[in-house]
Chains A and B, each alone.
Chain A
Amino acid sequence: QVQLVQSAGTVVQPGGSLTLPCAASGFTVNTFGMHWVRQAPGKGLEWVAFIQFDKSVKHYVDSVKGRFVVSRDDSSNTLFLEMKSLIPEDTAIYFCVRDNKKTVGSTSYFYMDVWGKGTSVTVSS
């Protein structure tokens, strides 16, 4: 069964650090790009970070650049999001998501097809 398993929620103080794991099963993470997407309470979806299947490319939303790092451990088939210098605005549910694609002719269309259930992160003193 293809799924992404995420950890339970947590509370962290402003300025603190946290690493979120996301364990994949039913597929190997080194054959897909992977994303992190977050959703603040009562708000919409915000893309956070991307790691390419071969780990050669990583992208981040401007608001987390220099503070968050996306990584992957292929031996455990697990994706990570390391978060530092956390601020209250980082409070959100964090989803790990698989990046898939469909190729039609010479064009590839990318989409997010498998989502973890999310980890709630609250940044508060």
Chain B
Amino acid sequence: DIQMTQSPSSLYASVGDRVTITCRASQNINSHLNWYQQTQGKVPKLLIYGASTLQSGVPSRFAARGYGTYFTLIITSLQPEDFATYYCQQSSPSPRVVTFGGGTKVEI
């Protein structure tokens, strides 16, 4: 099974900061990597799919890149509504066995 490791597990930041979260896969997953945001008490929301494609409606301050086993999510200028937990997810097409990273909590 593919394991996903996120770092850091938590971080403190201020409004306007640039934030970078990393995600490593235990084996090559090409670009089959998604990012989700979950705010407290809410359902996860898709931010990025295919390692770097912004989901419709997601602000452009979110960006992501990576390929193979190393991926990053970047928030260029943190906004108050961005304080949340972020999860990476490997989403290989076959088999459709999905794995989430452990999450990164972005706190004030």
A40 to B98, CA, bound (A): 17
What is the number of contacts between chain A and chain B, taking CB atoms within 8 Å? 73
A67 at the interface (CB under 8 A from B): no
A95 to B91, CA, bound (A): 17
Q: Which of B32, B53, B98 contacts A35 (CB 8 A)?
A: B98
A112 to B102, CA, bound (A): 17
Number of interface residues of B (CB under 8 A): 28
A35 to B95, CA, bound (A): 13
CB within 8 Å for A33 and B96 given contacts A111-B91, A117-B43:
yes
Q: Are A44 and B34 in contact (CB under 8 A)?
A: no
A59 to B99, CA, bound (A): 12
Q: Which of A45, A50, A107, A112 contacts B97 (CB 8 A)?
A: A50
CB within 8 Å for A47 and B32 given contacts A109-B49, A115-B43:
no
Q: Are B96 and A59 in contact (CB under 8 A)?
A: yes
Which chain B positions have C-beta within 8 A of A118? 43
CB within 8 Å for A109 and B50 given contacts A44-B87, A45-B103, A115-B43:
yes
Contacting residues of chain B (12-51) with chain A, CB-CB under 8 angstroms: 30-32, 34, 36, 38, 43-44, 46, 49-50
Which chain A positions have C-beta within 8 A of B71? none
Contacting residues of chain A (85-107) with chain B, CB-CB under 8 angstroms: 95, 99, 101-102, 104, 107
B100 at the interface (CB under 8 A from A): yes
Q: Are B93 and A111 in contact (CB under 8 A)?
A: no
Which chain B positions have C-beta within 8 A of A37? 100
A74 at the interface (CB under 8 A from B): no
Which chain B positions have C-beta within 8 A of A54? none
Q: Which of A45, A59, A99, A101 contacts B87 (CB 8 A)?
A: A45
B84-106 CB mask vs A (1 if < 8 Å, else 0) is 01010101010111111111000
Q: Are A45 and B50 in contact (CB under 8 A)?
A: no
A116 to B98, CA, bound (A): 18
Identify 18 residue pairs between A and B in the complex whose beta-carbon atoms are under 8 Å apart, listed by A's number.
A45-B36, A45-B38, A46-B100, A50-B96, A50-B97, A59-B95, A59-B96, A95-B43, A101-B93, A104-B50, A110-B32, A110-B91, A110-B96, A111-B34, A111-B49, A112-B34, A113-B46, A116-B43
